[in-house]
Structure 1
Amino acid sequence: MTDLRSAPLPVTDPDASTLVFPTPTEVYPETSWKALLTHSKLQTGRLLLRSAKDPFTMLQAIVYPAIMLVMFWAVLGISVTRATGVNSVYGYAPMLALVGAMFGSMASGMQLKAEWRKGLLSRFWILPTHRAAGLISRLVFEAIRILLTTVLIMLVGVLLGFRFNQGVVAGVLLMLVPLVMGIGFATMVTALSVNFAKVPLVELLSLICTLLMFFNSGFVPTAAYPTWLQGFVENQPMSTAIDAMRGLSLGGPVAEPLIKTTLWSLGAIAIFAWPAINGYKRAAGTPI
């Protein structure tokens, strides 16, 4: 398969009224591992380039969470710190890192629906490319985006007083927690996007995530919520991830919240992976 970005343009054969294309230099069977790796890499690069040029995605995934972190810290942070004796940024920074992961996935889901509506998915589907490259490239793209967003949010958190008190290894694990949760969430968003084209489920999911942002252990300590609500707040996926990240930075329990976060993510993948695959196949073959 020739990289079209570096290949010479087709020329007209002087002896015939046809175009002569360059000879392919990398020809892989469509179902081979080499084809999967090569085509997934090309598709991931396309998604990264598109997102870099899309101001809505950049605002939704990176700028919005960073601004929200500063706003939460400025408006509520001092009061929460005085009430608990612990710097509130250890809850707000993890919370906004997760918000960036989730809202970025929802923006990607709406872009996926737009590509379906424009027929771009169908065009890619009829090309001699590996069938799994489209979905895998989206998950790789989500992983890269989540890591970049997490790094930026944590840098802003450091400016507000966040510190990695448990060492380098714990700091690296902390940065991977949003990735663990984000992959499961991205799988769910992909499944919803390709199975419910005309139903605004992704938009409704945005509303639910906004509500969850105010009912988790990072916004205020779990004990501050009504007793009947504390069980939900403590065990909802955002809280488990925030507690794991807090333990990996400030100190405290890590194993239990990390296991819960992993189970939440694996559960989402187990439930939504097959609908995402089938829905993507159907979306690539039919108009929206």
Structure 2
Amino acid sequence: MSTLDLSPVPGRGRLAWEAADAWVMCRRNLVQTWRVPELLVFATIQPVLFVLLFTYVFGGAINVGPGVEYVDYLMPGVFVQTVIFGSMMTGIGLATDKEAGLIDRFRALPMSRSALLTGRTLADLVRNAFIILIMLLVGLAVGFRFGNTTVPAALAGFGLMLLFAYAFSWLSAVIGMSVGSAEAAQSGGMIWIFPFVFASSSFAPVESMPGWLQAFAKHQPVTCTVDAVRALFLGGPVAGDLLAALAWCLGILVVAGPLAVRAYRRGTAH
């Protein structure tokens, strides 16, 4: 069997060729999402339930410090929790396409090797941005308010969340390309997401946790990102947490991106 020529189209630079292919795949995934609005509805219901549950059931029992309303403390954690769970859809979507034989069809096309993965992660980034907007409206409805901050700082908080979501989408892509079914991709994602989300400062201060857990909780990527977003939204020292969150995001991208592309290419020989 001859090898397909996947070189760039004559007259078009490699970067332009890869970007065009990635846009085609991104548009394909966005169209799929809009045609199945239930995916957006179900992806939004879970974080809404978290907001209502923690605000009205547990909020009175959790002490987050003087002068801070629990809902203001909670929402940055819910935002980050929402996008990290949303990033799971990258792996699930890729595993679904793989199970249906679509990945093999895409491999047979004269397209950039990274286009499928880049397009999928970008489409999920757009979907996460839409869900964040919905969650912001929900938060405002239950009493969340930005504190002593500025518009650029608040926008930086949303930008950091989207970067975090994009990084974890690539980590999810590694799982999706390495397993054989959507169910396995979902289970594989849940195994590592739950410890990171719940052993973090998303819903309660790290200081309230057992000493043996605090060392992990203080320095893991979810806590660093939540604390940075919280400081950007409410005001307060942010440099250390912001730098740590950016380092985590870039580190994940540097490691997970090549691993996902390698997993995709490895299947080409099959």
Shorter chain as denominator, the TM-score bin is 0.7 to 0.9
Give, in whole Å, the separation in 2 of the partners of 1:108 and 1:278. 16
Q: 1:236 aligns with which of 213, 217, 220?
A: 220
Distance 1:133 1:212, change over 3 A: closer
Question: Does residue 159 of the first structure (1) align with residue 141 of the second (2)?
Answer: yes
**Residue 281 of structure 1, aligned match among 259, 265, 268:** 265
What are the equivalent positions in structure 2 for 1:45-124 lying under 5 Å apart?
A: 45-54=27-36, 57-59=39-41, 61-80=43-62, 84-124=66-106
SS at match of 1:218: coil
Q: Report what 1:188 is aligned to.
A: 171
Match of 2:111 among 129, 135, 158: 129
Instruction: Could you tell me which runs of 5 or more consecutive residues in structure 1 were left unpaired when the two chains were aligned.
Output: 1-26
Q: How many pairs were matched up?
A: 260
TM-score, length-scaled by structure 2: 0.86
Q: With structure 1 as the length reference, what TM-score do the two structures score?
A: 0.81
Tell me the amino acid that sits aligned with residue 171 of structure 1.
A
The structure with more helix, counted as a fraction of residues: 2
Displacement of 1:85 in angstroms is 4.1
Counterparts of 1:31-42 in structure 2, within 5 Å, are 32-42=14-24
Equivalent residue of 2:198, what SS? coil
Tell me which amino acid in the other structure corresponds to 2:46.
Answer: Y
Change (3 A) 1:116 1:224: same
One-letter amino acid matched to 2:97: E
Using the TM superposition, give the Cα deviation of residue 71 of structure 1 relative to its aligned residue in structure 2, in angstroms: 1.7
- Report how far residue 33 of structure 1 moved: 3.4
Q: Is the 8 A contact 2:64 2:70 kept in 1?
A: no
Look up the equivalent residue of 1:49 and give its one-letter code.
V
Which residue number in structure 2 is paired with residue 9 of structure 1? none
Bigger Rg, structure 1 or 2? 1
Q: Give the C-alpha shift of residue 146 in structure 1.
A: 2.3
Distance apart, 1:155 and its partner CA: 1.9
What is the CA RMSD across the aligned residues, in angstroms? 2.4
Instruction: Provide structure 2 residue ranges, at least 5 long, that are not aligned to the other structure.
Output: 1-7
Residue 177 (structure 1) aligned with residue 160 (structure 2): yes
Who is 2:3 aligned against? Answer: none
SS of the residue aligned with 1:200?
helix
CA positional deviation for 1:172: 0.4
Cα offset, 1:202, TM superposition = 4.3
Aligned-residue identity in percent? 27
SS in 2 for 1:164: coil
Name the aligned partner's letter for residue 236 of structure 2.
G
Asked if structure 2 preserves the Cα contact closer than 8 Å seen for 1:44 and 1:141, the reply is yes
TM superposition shift of 1:169 = 0.3
Paired residues of 2:21 and 2:111 also in contact (CA < 8 A): yes
Task: Provide the secondary structure at the position in 2 that maps to 1:213.
Answer: helix
Given that 2:177 and 2:263 are in contact with CA atoms closer than 8 Å, whether structure 1 keeps it comes out as yes
